[in-house]
Chains A and B, each alone.
Chain A
């Protein structure tokens, strides 16, 4: 059912949406399977059995964001009520929630809906169609909540609906779209903070260590990705792998982009920035020095105090 999309829309997903969906799912799941009371000691087997009784629930919600031209940026999401009898989402609830969110985020429109599960199902198309009168081409974000440690990719897929002719009947089917993760600086820092539970505060040394560790891991990633490309190219050169011209073109254009900037102006600006930072360091050291000098002078004055003679106190030597 899912082939790749041809609509040409680019999707950008914010991490807040992913954490939102995950939280919604965890909440519903834990409310359905209450944890065993702390007094129970030998019931661990029972509780494990109890958790397996109910299959993981499907949660539903709405995603909101901005659509500018061909770019769809999904910023936020909220939960919706699902009516299992009619297989549809509660419409009045959606509208009420939408109003509330409009007050705080006036720029965001309803872009689509989300759900959890393994793969898009037939019943999802029903919900999708119902949402089409709010937004003519809604997106469907699917999160797979199964924790699979072997999986290296984010278990989030974005589907669009397209009209395809199957067996002579035009039908709406889901097609997969690619997306990128978009973030604002503040979002990145808080995600980083929670993901790695970095210490907040601490001496300058730990801050330096944290900063450098972050950059180091990013560079390591870059390095590993480049290695993969390198191995692939070596394989192609040896003849083990079929020559793929499109890929070669992309790699060549990537390499030709280095050096990234090499103009006079860039060097000037870069060195100005460098000098500015050095200047700030210089000033700070100056301030530090004068503060220490001030302390020294005061201590000197206290020690060699000539103005008050209390009980013949003279200089310490």
Chain B
């Protein structure tokens, strides 16, 4: 029973909301209630409270589609739209589809190029039985984190004026693959001139130097929403069975090989940031003011955290390589003693 206790402790420490295994009667989230949605549209409870929507629920299908599309773009930003509905203070994303638009970080409202596509697609979808409306847009930031750039903020503010309720989602496919977990963020902007009452501390993420200014200027103009995921009972069942075929891929994936470039980029970016921090520290020694010194210190602390993160990912990748090596390479004849059976020792010389 130790493992059960350990699992419960772990779940508690990490606030894991165990979604009960959905049974067929609770697939009600998939039902689209036209009248209720229309009523909600008319009431517009978000008009008075800029912080009205607090949560996002994303379906398994939408997540899969968005991540695959983002990854297929490689290093080019891609975008698409999400369809869904609202439920109190939560926005529910049921499905997503890609738009044939490129280079979304160069102009506001890149969506304008794809209006015709959007209209056609929505029409055909309604015919095929998907009744939900467009409820947001998503785009990718390959390699530089989940946040809204200046252009994104302007786009989203425009959307929130005319197409409410609307949500912005950002996915980083490069970091997803490197870290082994999905990097995704959901945001809504505050209207012009609104100052957030309390400043919720968002999860820290490292931003490359060439984008950090853009991030800093606008980071107060939007807030992040909590993301949870859901899946239907059939999805649950299928995904469980899928694991039977999947374990081979888990074992054979080698993140170290796949992400060599990205990690090298991260390390060189860190080196630049270190130089910057060093210069700032050198200057501050002349005038030892308390508060300004704290700023440089926190920059050094940030760099430390970033380097720790990169290291952790590298070590994870190395661990899987070593395990695979032990499993498949250190085979000995049965007549030798088992004492000689050990993996490669961590020698420092080659």
A189:B181 contact, CB within 8 angstroms = yes
Does B47 have its Cβ within 8 Å of any Cβ on chain A? Answer: no
A184:B71 contact, CB within 8 angstroms = yes
Per-residue 0/1 for A266-283: is the Cβ within 8 Å of any B Cβ (1 yes, 0 no)?
011011111111101101
Q: Name B59-103 residues within 8 Å CB distance of A.
A: 59-61, 63-65, 67-68, 70-71, 94-95, 97-100
Stretch of B127-135, B150-158, B208-216 at the chain-chain interface: B127-135
A111 to B75, CA, bound (A): 28
A22:B63 contact, CB within 8 angstroms = no
Chain B residue at minimal CB-CB distance from A24: B129
A190:B10 contact, CB within 8 angstroms = no
User: A22-B232, A26-B27 are known contacts. Are A199 and B242 too (CB-CB below 8 A)?
Assistant: no
Does B279 have its Cβ within 8 Å of any Cβ on chain A? Answer: no
CB-CB < 8 A to A27: which residues of B? 30, 94, 129-130
B177:A189 contact, CB within 8 angstroms = yes
A80:B128 contact, CB within 8 angstroms = yes
B241:A217 contact, CB within 8 angstroms = no
CB-CB < 8 A to B64: which residues of A? 15-16, 19, 187, 190-191, 194
B28:A104 contact, CB within 8 angstroms = no
Stretch of A134-142, A165-173, A284-292 at the chain-chain interface: A284-292
A2 to B13, CA, bound (A): 52
**CB contacts between A and B, total, < 8 Å:** 292
Chain B residue at minimal CB-CB distance from A78: B128
Q: How far is the CB of A70 from chain B (nearest CB, A)?
A: 21
CB-CB < 8 A to A228: which residues of B? none
B31:A100 contact, CB within 8 angstroms = no
B129:A79 contact, CB within 8 angstroms = yes
B246:A191 contact, CB within 8 angstroms = yes
A147:B229 contact, CB within 8 angstroms = no
Interface size of A by CB at 8 A reads 105
Set A186, A201, A204: member contacting B68, Cβ < 8 A: A186
A189:B95 contact, CB within 8 angstroms = no
CB-CB < 8 A to A217: which residues of B? 243, 247, 250
Set B14, B33, B127, B314: member contacting A199, Cβ < 8 A: B14
Does A248 have its Cβ within 8 Å of any Cβ on chain B? Answer: no
Stretch of B38-46, B162-170, B187-195, B304-312 at the chain-chain interface: B304-312
B331:A259 contact, CB within 8 angstroms = yes
Does A247 have its Cβ within 8 Å of any Cβ on chain B? Answer: no
Per-residue 0/1 for B200-231: is the Cβ within 8 Å of any A Cβ (1 yes, 0 no)?
00010000000000000000000000010101
Q: How far is the CB of A196 from chain B (nearest CB, A)?
A: 9
CB-CB < 8 A to A206: which residues of B? 10, 13-14
Q: How far is the CB of A162 from chain B (nearest CB, A)?
A: 26
Chain A residue at minimal CB-CB distance from B59: A23
Q: How far is the CB of A32 from chain B (nearest CB, A)?
A: 10
B328:A194 contact, CB within 8 angstroms = no
Q: Name B260-317 residues within 8 Å CB distance of A.
A: 267, 274, 281, 288, 290, 293, 297, 300-301, 303-304, 307-308, 310-312, 314-317
CB-CB < 8 A to B229: which residues of A? 193-194, 197
A198:B245 contact, CB within 8 angstroms = no
User: A26-B232, A96-B120 are known contacts. Are A188 and B253 too (CB-CB below 8 A)?
Assistant: yes
Stretch of A122-130, A152-160, A231-239, A309-317 at the chain-chain interface: A152-160
Chain A residue at minimal CB-CB distance from B60: A194
Interface size of B by CB at 8 A reads 113
A162 to B328, CA, bound (A): 41
User: A188-B246, A210-B181, A259-B328 are known contacts. Are A194 and B239 too (CB-CB below 8 A)?
Assistant: yes
Does B5 have its Cβ within 8 Å of any Cβ on chain A? Answer: no
A30:B14 contact, CB within 8 angstroms = no
A183 to B243, CA, bound (A): 12
A154:B238 contact, CB within 8 angstroms = yes
A48 to B31, CA, bound (A): 16
A24 to B30, CA, bound (A): 10
Chain B residue at minimal CB-CB distance from A216: B323
Q: How far is the CB of A115 from chain B (nearest CB, A)?
A: 14
B19:A197 contact, CB within 8 angstroms = yes
Does B344 have its Cβ within 8 Å of any Cβ on chain A? Answer: yes
Does B339 have its Cβ within 8 Å of any Cβ on chain A? Answer: no
Q: How far is the CB of A296 from chain B (nearest CB, A)?
A: 11
CB-CB < 8 A to A208: which residues of B? 312, 316
B124:A193 contact, CB within 8 angstroms = no
B241:A151 contact, CB within 8 angstroms = yes
Q: How far is the CB of A235 from chain B (nearest CB, A)?
A: 20
A193 to B180, CA, bound (A): 9
A269 to B71, CA, bound (A): 28
A154:B127 contact, CB within 8 angstroms = no
A181:B68 contact, CB within 8 angstroms = no
Does A103 have its Cβ within 8 Å of any Cβ on chain B? Answer: yes
CB-CB < 8 A to A276: which residues of B? 314
Of residues A93, A97, A151, which shows the largest number of chain B Cβ atoms within 10 Å of its Cβ? A97
A185 to B253, CA, bound (A): 8
Q: Which 3 A-B pairs have the closest CB atoms?
A: A35-B28, A186-B71, A79-B128
What are 23 residue pairs bridging A and B, where the CB atoms are less than 8 Å apart in the complex?
A18-B238, A19-B238, A30-B28, A47-B25, A51-B24, A154-B245, A181-B245, A189-B180, A190-B182, A194-B63, A194-B229, A195-B242, A197-B18, A197-B19, A208-B312, A208-B316, A215-B320, A218-B248, A222-B251, A271-B347, A274-B322, A291-B303, A307-B288
